Amino acid sequence: MLAEGATVRTVLDVVFATHDRLGSYVLDDQGALRKHMRILVNGRAIRDLEKQSDAVGPHDEVWVMQALSGG
């Protein structure tokens, strides 16, 4: 989907606002990225896992991915 924002977090907040409860699946109670989640901007992993302050440009692509493991 298309979402505007100058940082990863502002983009995420736009998406979370349209999908009830989605935010709690990606971020923990303090707003940090859950430990098995990874966010990439144009294929590069973000560095600020606590606040997701990494910059996003007007045409950037943001991927939210999770690692699934265990038996």
Partner 1 sequence: MQKTVMISTRKGLFEATKARGGWKISGAHFEGDNVTLMLRDPRDGTDYAALNHGHFGIKLHRRDKGKKKWQEIDAPKYPEKPEGLVDKDGWGKDVNWSTQLIWALECAGGAKDKGQLWCGTMPGGLFRSKDRGQTWELMESLWRHPDRNKWLGGGADIPGIHSICVDPRDSNIVRVAVSCGGVWRTEDDGKTWAQSGHGMKFDNGPKSEVESPDGQDPHMMVQCPAEPSKFWVQHHASIFKSVNDGVTWTNVNAKPSSFGFGVVVHPKDGDTAWFVPGIKDEKRIPVGGAVVVTRTRDGGKTFKTLKKGLPQKYAYDVVFRHGLALDDSGGKLVMGSTTGNVWVSEDQGDSWVQVSSTLPQVYAVRWV
String of DSSP letters for 4-69:
--SBHHHHHHHHHHHSTTHHHHHB-TTSPBPTTEEEEETTEE-S-TTT---B--TT--EEEEE---
Q: How far is the CB of 54 from partner 1 (least distance, A)?
A: 21
User: What is the footprint of partner 1 within residues 9-28 (CB under 8 A)?
Assistant: 21, 24-25, 28
Nearer to partner 1 by Cβ, of 4 and 29: the residue is 29
Chain residues binding partner 1 by CB under 8 A are 21, 24-25, 28-32, 34-37, 66-68, 70
